[in-house]
Amino acid sequence: MKTLLKDIRACTICDEHLPLGPKPITVAHPEAKIVIIGQAPGTKVHKTGIPWDDPSGRQLRKWLNVSDEVFYDERLIAIVPMGFCYPGKGKGGDLPPRPECAPQWHKSLLEKMPKRELVILIGMYAQKYYLKEKASKTLTESVKNYRDHLPLYFTLPHPSPRNRFWLTKNPWFEKKVVPELQKQVAHLIVG
């Protein structure tokens, strides 16, 4: 695992497409039971090198009902984004994750985490990549039908503050889905 992480952190496969240059950010450990697969780091995370070190991360930890200490314990939770580097700005926010990362690195990383029991797929990029033809057509359908992908996969929207409208429009998410997510996570962390 150490060699693989070193190789990932030295990756420059899409260097010419990255406005801030390459700075692959991921956390993984062979003991991790939970793997979080999100989109890509934002500018703040690019600066700090700490995954989910932003308002989205605070919201995600709230949804998971875990402390910072638990969230950043690599023996419990691995963080493997679809794109390991900040992809740049687009019209409505950050650009999509670079398409090179997941095919290049994910399989090798996941193979080195044999104890993983729950893979949390955040957003449509992760859901389409991992669920393939079983992915729903919309994010709302995917999240609403999260049970269809258990026990391994749990589908979530992105916890970005930009998604306030979606959360307001879909109150069932925080009433029904979040408690089930918290139950699954607590079971794996506490044992």
Q: pLDDT by residue (tens digit) across 109-167?
A: 999 999 999 999 999 999 999 999 999 999 999 999 999 999 999 999 999 998 999 99
pTM for the complete prediction? 0.96
pLDDT at 173 over 90: yes
DSSP three-state, residue 75: coil
Residue 166: HSE in the Cβ half-sphere, 13 Å Cα cutoff? 16
Rounded mean pLDDT of 173-189?
A: 97
Cα dihedral across residues 137, 130, 75, 7: positive or negative: negative
Q: Decide if 39 contacts 120 (C-beta within 8 A).
A: no
CATH code of 2-190, in short, is: 3.40.470.10
Angstrom distance (rounded) from CA 12 to CA 33: 29
Q: For position 56, what pLDDT does the model report? A: 95
Residue ranges in the chain assigned as alpha helix (H):
2-9, 43-48, 55-64, 68-71, 101, 107-111, 124-131, 139-144, 164-169, 172, 178-190
Sign of CA dihedral 145, 151, 153, 158: positive
C-alpha 172 chain-centroid distance: 22
